Every structure is written in structure tokens, then in C-alpha cells.
A and B are shown apart, each in its own frame.
Chain A
Amino acid sequence: MDRPLTRPLTRRGLLKGSALFVAGAAVSACSTGDPLAKGGAAPSGSAAQVTLTHWYHEYGEEGTQQAAMKYAADFTTANPDIAVKVSWIPGDYATKWTAAVLTPEGPDVYEVNDVSPNMVKAGQVTPLDDVLGAEKSDFNAKVLEPYTWGGHVYAVPMVVDPMLVFYRKSLFAEAGVSVPTSFAEFAAAAVKLTRGKQKGLFVGNDGIGPLNQMVPWSNGNLLIDDREIIYDDPKVIEALSAVKDLYDAKAMLQGYSTDWWDPGALINGAAAMQWVGMWAVPGLTEALGDDFDAFALPPFGPGGQAVVNMGGWVQVVNGKSRNLEAARKYVRWLWVQNTAAQTDWNLGYGFHIPPRNSAAAQAGKLNTGPAKTVMDAVAAHGVKQPALWTAEVRQPYTDAVTAIVKKGADPGKTLAAAAKRSQDILDQVPVL
């Protein structure tokens, strides 16, 4: 580094060097592609005046990326003046879109799980009431509700993902276990199904996973009630103590190579029951035939309720988009009017519930086998996470649950302290 230049620069050398440098800069400036984009349906040189960018997270099912690009191309065929560039974002999608929408160069159309009042206030989303139009009443009201702020709906649901407990029928029969009807039975089944290299239950590699919310829900406490934190409550303490007993019983699979959203542990017999979404049904059918079924997390006890968690993805339009009208038109065309594409998207790859009731009712694939069990459980026990239970609000709670379940912290005191913090954070969320 500190070696002095041994050769003086000549004018010619300098000229050559600078020319190379400029050429290099020019070449790199020419490749103006989006570095995040793994694939794009580029407009094929037509008369497109507007190009929309549309971001998807990486759906795991084979064929989904091609399908997304095909929908975009079909839209351009129908609307030659608008091209759509699909970006397929692998990995940690949430942090990528949050950074991208801060600039005017962010995606015009993107998908999210939640729409918070902060996002509305920052203009990261825009009201889509006219996009939903007359078809609004055909959408599942429970699903639309958390995306509604100040009377406006800010999202169009793309897929509804019910999550519940899947199990291997043959392993249940072998161990003489039947579908549990209370949490105590559920925990006992997990213990009974733990034998040799097989664990009874898989809910996530940390050994708690979504149970931290689902079990209190099944005991009748949703942890938050509009703008009030309600998890500092005997029902939650009771639920978490039971989760702790289950954790201590060493009946749960931990540190598996895939996490709870992948049915691998169930397929490979590493666990006999697993918390996973309905998207896994085609994969499970292929690997296990009819040796599996599903049940809602049973009611915690008398006075509780069975729980199926209704997750999913919704489409939003970036409020800062330069092509707002084109973006709205595209979203209405794809996720409201084009029921054929919606059905293909929800049922052609993994299984999801089409958000439009009329499409869901016609979905033959959801009327047989385990998918039918799931659909019935959704109708009876579907619970949608309250809108204000955001990442920031729930962090003190999840920390408290880890302390209680894994380290034996005092549940009452720990929850009381955490609830105060959650409430402080919640109070800062703007009212719309």
C-alpha cells in the first residue's frame, strides 16, 4: 500500500487509464436492471406508455413465478398501453419492501400481510375502495376488516391461508390417539406420540412458534382488544403455563432443518403432528397419500374456543406511485375481476382459499379430503389476527412468553411489565 509508484505516469498512460475508466463506468451505467429482480416479464417493445413494477415475495410452490408473469403479460395484452414488470423477491421480503417504498422508485404494486396506521399515514398504501367496487361484498368480510382504516379499505386480498394442526393418521392409530378436544388432550397426545426418533409435535424450531398466540386465543383471549392490551390476564397465564408444561415434557421437535411452514418434518416422520398452513396439502398428498388430516387447535378448556389462524397475503398500491391510476386498474383487473387467475393462483400450486366467496364456493379441490376438513374448520373456528397487533406492539409479549415458557419466569409479573410496554407503544400508533 505504501510502496511508492516506481514509474512516473506518462500522459499517454493517463489517457489510456482514464479512457478505460470512463468506458467501464459507461458499461456499468448501461445495465440499469433492478438488482433485486430475479425475473421479469419485460414489456415486449409494444406501445406501452407506462411500466408498472409489481413485487411478490418468493412463493415456495413450483410454477408460481411463471404464473405471476403470465398474469402480467395477459394484462398487457388486454391493455397495450400498460406494461407490468414482475419482481420476484427471494429471502427476507419484509425488510426489502419496507426499504423500497421509502423512495419514489419503490414498487407500484406489492403484497403485504398487514397494513398498519403508520403505513397509511406515510402514504405507503392508498385507498382501494373503488378498486374493490361492487364486488366488495363478495370478499370475506373477516379478511377485509383488518385492512380497513377510517372507513377505507387499503388492500385487496390475494390468498387466504388457514393455519392449524396437521397430523399423520397412521401414527395416531398406532399410538391409540384420537383427535384431541381440549388442550390437555392435545398435550397428552404429543407426549404419547413421542417415541424413538419421532417427536409428538412440531410448531417451530424454537419450540414455541405460533403457539404463543394460538393457545391464549383458544382460551378466549385475543391479547389485544382494539386499542387496549389485554394479555395481562389469568386466562393468558393459564394458557402459557400449559404451554410451558408441554415444552418441558420434551415432546416437541426443535431445530429441524426446515421450519413450521414446510411440511417436511411431518412427511419424514420427525413429528406426528405439525402446525402448518393449508398450502402444504398438495405436497402432503403427494408424499403421504391419504395418511394425513387436520384439526383446529382445540378449545383450551370449558369456555375456550377452537382456533384456526387465518393468515394470507394482500395486494396494496403504493401511495407514492407515479402511475397510480394504471396500478389501480391492474389490481382491479387481476385480483377483483379476473376470477380465473385468482382460482389458478390459489389452487393451481399450493392450496389457499380464494378470497372471493363465490370463487371459494366453486373450488372443487377444496371440497374433498383434508382440504375439506380445513375448510369446515375455517368456517367454524377461523380467527383473524387483530389489525393493531403489529410487530412492534407484540415484541414485548413474545419476549415475555420466551421468558415464561423457557426460563420459568413468573408469568404474572412478566406479563404485567410487558403489557405496560405494549400499551405504551400502542398508544403512539396514530388514530385514523
Chain B
Amino acid sequence: MTTTAAPARPGPGGRRAARRPAWRAFLLLTLPMVAGLFVFKYVAIGWGLLLSFNDARGTIALGDWNGLDNYRRLLGDPAFTRSLVTILLFTLFIVPVTFALALGLAVLVNRLRGGRALFRTTFFIPAAVSYVVGALVWKMSLFSGTPSGVANSLAYLLGYEESIGWVATVDPPLYWIVLVTVRLWLQTGFYMILFLAGIQQIPAQLYEAARVDGAESEARLFRHITWPMLRNTSVAVVLLLIINAFQAFDEFYNILASNLSGLGGADGRTPLIYLFQTALGEQNYGAGSAGAFVVTVLIVVFTLLQGRIAGFGRTAEEES
């Protein structure tokens, strides 16, 4: 948003007077949003922080202070520490794979001579699908445990006559195939569009100049022009990917939940699923809030680390 919008209008009062209504309008129009943000986000976050130092079972009222007990309980619970390990491994896998796929697709789509719009749209469409819908299609149709499931039909053609319960099999961990493929399908297209936009911002003269300087092969052009020019896009993409991976919930919840009131088992339990269970399943809002802050701190630490390594937000002058 910009506040210095109104150009000067001729007339008495001059520039200043003309600007005042715009400034007032800005206040008036943003106030509901800011007030909403304050009441529904910041107050809630602050309350959550206080609640994390309370024994709050079945209530969200403060008063039963118990110091760091909730944090101790969480970090002493093997189920929670395991969920942190789970999400870390998931992040380490899904971030580079999505990154490589999205970048690869963007480069390929960009090189197309005809039908670029068609392919761009085709790859992007899954991003418009809800995670819940995607997860249920994966669970009930593609990777259903019945012989008629798509994956099992394929396995049958390849000679495996026994139908496989993809989601239920944890040893070997076949459920990861379901979880990872659905996320890749859902999010790759979106990041591909970001890369594509980045690639199209690169001036064509740079490529021409590189060719004049003797860079002939596509690989060299990519390495010396495309990749460095995409740095800001890449950093932003990695940042978003990491945050999204840490907040994984929807597809895990919908694919793995099996019992009426219950969530899935220990396998594939992400921190958010664990906290959902703690706060809303068991009504332990103190421990739930504490966990939310542990996860937030983790996300912040990872983001800062990544920003430091990749140099997010640094300008060219600062670099040199």
C-alpha cells in the first residue's frame, strides 16, 4: 500500500490539503483490517503464550499457573519429539524435491514454442484443488487398499496379485508414497508459476550477450544466466516451502485418520496433528499452546538460518 498517492492538485491549499483526504481514507479503510488483525491474531497469540504457562484443561481461562510444566511435558513426550523428527525428515525431503520439480517444469514450459499456455494451465490447475479434496482422492481412489484401487490395479499388471493397503502399511513405510505424491501434485504447479514469472523477468539481452560471449549450450546458459537471475525467486520459494512443510496438517489428517473420533497412529503424526489432538481432542489447551510456540520457534529458526545462508533481503550493494 502506498500513502503518498495523491498528486498535487492546482488550487488553494496546495499539495498538503489535497493529500489529507487520501490519508484519512487510508486510515478509514485499513482500520477494520488492522483492528481485526489485532483482536483475532495478536491478542489470541498473546493469550496463547500466557496460556502455555497455565494448567488449562477444559478451560482457556488463566489462573492456574504452572511455570514451564507444559513445555516439560511436551519435550518429555516421545510422541511429540517423534513428531518433530517426522516433520524435519519430511521437510528435508519435500522442499528440495518440490523445488527441483517446479524449477524443471518452469524451464521446460518456458522453452516450449507452442502450447505454452496449455501446459502452464495444466500444471497449475492442481494448485487450485483443496488439500482435503486431493487427500481424499488419493486415499479413496488412487491408493485405496481394495484390488480396484488405481495403484493396486497397476501393481496387479506388474505381477503383484496381493492387494496392498498403501495407507495402512508402515513397515515398509508405503504411506509416505501417498503423502508425498499428493503434496507434490498439489503444490508443484504453484511454485512452477513463481519460477516461470521469474524466468520471464530476465532480459533477453542477457542471453544474447552470453551467446556472443560464447556460452552455447542450454546448460551453460541456465547455470550462468537463469540460475543467478532467479536467486530472489528461489529464496522466496524455499522460504514458502519450508513454512508450508512445517505446517503440514491437511493431507496427513485426512489420509491417516481412521477412527471415528481419533486421528491416525504414531506414523505420520506431524506436530500440528499432535497439537490438534492435545488441544481439541484431550482439551489440554495449556500444553497445546506450548506446543504451538515450540513449532513457531522452530519455523522462525529455520527461516532465519535459510535466510542467512541464501542472503534473503540483501541488496546487491550490501553483497559487494
- Residues on A close to B: CB < 8 A? 1-2, 4-5, 8-11, 14, 17-18, 21, 92-95, 98-99, 102, 113, 118-119, 121-122, 124, 197, 204-207, 209, 250, 253-257, 259, 261, 270, 390-392, 395-396, 398-399, 402-403, 406-408, 417, 421
Contact = CB atoms under 8 A, between A and B. Distances in A.
Nearest to B167: A255
B211 interface: no
B143 interface: yes
A18 B28 contact: yes
A255 B5 contact: no
Contacts of B217: none
Nearest to A113: B261
Most buried by A among B57, B59, B147, B262: B57
Given A102-B60, A399-B79, 15 more contacts: A5-B5, A5-B22, A8-B22, A9-B22, A11-B21, A17-B25, A18-B28, A95-B280, A119-B283, A205-B167, A207-B168, A209-B259, A256-B145, A406-B170, A407-B171
Contacts, number: 139
Given A8-B7, A99-B280, A197-B147, A399 B265 contact: yes
Nearest to B7: A8
Most buried by A among B6, B25, B140: B25
Contact of B170 (A11, A119, A407): A407
Most buried by B among A102, A205, A392: A205
A390 B79 contact: no
A256 B276 CA distance: 25
Given A118-B58, A206-B265, A9 B145 contact: no
A407 B171 CA distance: 6
Interface in B120-178: 139-140, 143-147, 149, 162-163, 165-171
B258 A205 contact: yes
11 contacts: A9-B21, A17-B25, A122-B57, A204-B258, A206-B264, A209-B259, A255-B146, A256-B144, A259-B258, A406-B169, A406-B170
Contact of B281 (A17, A102, A391, A399): A391
A402 B168 contact: no
Nearest to B60: A102
Contact of A255 (B4, B18, B143): B143
Interface string B71-107: 0000001110000000000000000000000000000
A257 to B, nearest CB: 5
Nearest to A406: B170
